[in-house]
Amino acid sequence: MGKNKVYLVLVASLIAFSAFGQQPRKYLVTFRDKANSPYSVSRPESFLSARSIERRQRQGIDVTPRDLPPNPTYVQGLRQAGVTVWYTSRWLNGALVEATTQQLDGLRLLPYVAGIESNTALNVNRGERTVERGVKSLETHPIPDEKAEVLNYGYSQPQVALIGADSMHARGFRGEGMLVGVLDNGFVNVNTLPLFKPLFDENRIVGTYDFVNKSQNVYDRGSHGTSVLSALAGYREGFLIGTAYKASFLLVHTEDDSGERLIEEANWLFGVEYADSVGVDVINSSLGYTTFDDPSTNHTYQDLNGQKTIATRAADWAAAAGIVVVVAAGNEGNKAWKYISAPADADSIIAVAAVDRNGQYAAFSSKGPRVDGRVKPDLAAMGQGVVVGDPGGTISVGSGTSYASPILAGMATGFWQAHPYLSGQQVIQALKESASQYTRPDEFLGYGIPNFVRASNWVSQNIGGGMRLYPNPSSGSQTIRVELPADFSSSSTFEARLTDLRGAALWTGTLTGRSFTLPLNTLPAGIYVLRLQGDQKSFATKVVRF
């Protein structure tokens, strides 16, 4: 559709993204069901990567019918009707097509196309797109060096230190082995800038895709994405060091800079599904949606109920698949709209507000609460006077929740690396519990500014529940002892389970008492997760062997 203005309306069972005055137009077609599909939840490897499946297994999340691709017969039927199929959606159970008004008449008659929908929601049936976009495998990284080098953050010190990411780095957690998906308007020159050279030298860009232009090239346009990525992954000592500068990245272009159109939310859905299928741990998106070039498609504050917009539901579906989703709250705080934007209203994600280097609310940062009164935004990070890189290679200063979001997303990435036994939702809860105003959230900063050290302490006290392992880390010849809090007796019984970081069980057994030895002397070097399940209490912690 090039640079034509595109809007979204419902036409019978079809949601249309129309280019004013031209044919054909783009429509989001939803299907009635996933009946008679060749795909099965028992064979997820046919439509999800091993890493995506492992992320679910690690958190005890089942692959559900929502994860299945739409029925290929239905998709082929659309093609046979003469329309062009751009993308399909697993979670929405539909397809983005390009069709003329005449072709629409035929599509409406297809028995598997969903019935008429209202303007308040898309079809409740959810569904896929199997993606193969040249994604490289992500290698397992070695155990981080707990005596990491002393870093010279230069001008970026305040934004890193405000949330304790400097302490996180000093403990050796810089994102190694974690995969972050970044959805933005493109990443111009990222592949040539010295600021990002380590990403390419170390093969840490695992995949790219441009859903606007249907291309794998994301480096030819979009300065916003370049600056956003720099706050996460940039590395230039003495100037700028990103909060997850050793992580691996999936770069996804979903935003069309030629205008504001509702189809960009559909692109966002496709991008998030792509990120899920590749197996990302964390998503950062510094994008938000409220008003569009076609006013009839504008969202209202009442729409921000966590259930309506395409992007909001996509964010929650990603969270349900075990991804930590981090999004910018928006920059409308001192404008007429003033509220957060979609998908920041989603239930199970982190919507990030902006503060200055002193932790004070930045006036432009969008406010909450959500329309139903729930706390929004969720957390805050430095977004005023942030040090970022630009496509020309200059280290500059910018402001916006667009930068607060990746700064916090990078800390969340390293935090999860440090506590790999947590679920995605436990990561979010720990960060909230660590935040500066957790007991008195407000509409400006939500629960406030999180802190890596405080969040780690909260995990030790509440997730680990006081369980102590020593020595930990340990060598292959050392015996590991476990000690539980004093309120457990010698008759306490626990079912023990040791897994690798992919969730595969390596050892199970029954342990009795409050102090015992683990029979793991032959355990090779690596990072593992020990879980104890008792009648009244459960424990989980990381086991490190070197």
Q: What is the pLDDT of residue 232?
A: 98
Domain limit, last residue, from 109, 138, 171 = 109
Nearest to 183 by CA among 306, 123, 266: 266
Residues 61 and 165 in one domain: no
What's the pLDDT score for residue 115? 35
Task: Please report, as a single letter, which amino acid is at residue 528.
Answer: Y
- ω into 111 cis (within 30 of 0): no
**What is the distance between the alpha carbons of residues 204 and 242, in angstroms, rounded to a whole number?**
14
* 540 within some domain: yes
Residues 308, 287, single domain; the answer is yes
Q: Which of 462, 479, 500 is the last residue of a domain?
A: 462
Residue 135's pLDDT is what?
A: 39
Residue 125 forms part of a structural domain: no
Domain that holds residue 507: 468-545
Look at the chain and report how many structural domains it folds into. Answer: 3
477-520 pLDDT, tens per residue? 788 888 887 667 778 888 988 888 777 888 898 988 888 888 77
CATH number at residue 346: 3.40.50.200
Q: Which tokens is 509 given?
A: 């057994």
Q: Is residue 150 part of a domain?
A: no
- Does one domain contain both 348 and 496? no
Please give the pLDDT value at position 127.
Answer: 29
Tell me what pLDDT residue 16 has. 53
DSSP 3-state assignment of 428? helix
Look at residue 469 in the predicted model and tell me its pLDDT. 83
At residue 17, the pLDDT reads 55
Shared-domain flag, residues 458 and 510: no
Q: Are residues 472 and 506 in the same domain?
A: yes
Q: Which residues of the chain have pLDDT under 50?
A: 1-14, 18-22, 115-147
**Are 107 and 99 in contact, with CB atoms under 8 Å apart?**
yes
Q: 3-state SS string over 443-500?
A: CCCECCCCCHHHHHHHHHHHCCCCCEEECCCECCCCCEEEECCCCCCCCCEEEEEEEE
**Do 88 and 30 reside in the same domain of the chain?**
yes
Phi then psi for 101, rounded to 5 degrees? -65, -30
For residues 280 and 229, give the distance between their C-alpha atoms in angstroms, rounded to a whole number.
15
Report if residue 135 sits inside a domain.
no
Q: Are residues 452 and 479 in the same domain?
A: no
HSE of 277, CA atoms in CB hemisphere, 13 A: 31
Beta bridge partners of 205: 249
Same domain, 485 and 440: no
Give the integer Cα–Cα distance in Å for 381 and 360.
10
- Final residue of a structural domain among 462, 496, 526: 462
402: Cβ contacts below 8 Å, ≥ 6 apart: 224, 227, 228, 286, 328, 331, 383
Shared domain for 242 and 322, answered yes or no, is: yes
Q: Is residue 147 part of a domain?
A: no
In a domain, 161, yes or no: yes
pLDDT reported for residue 146:
42
CATH for 476: 2.60.40.1930
| In-domain check, residue 323 | yes
Kindly state whether residue 122 falls inside one of the protein's structural domains.
Answer: no
User: pTM of the predicted model, to two decimals?
Assistant: 0.84
Pair (194, 244) in one structural domain: yes
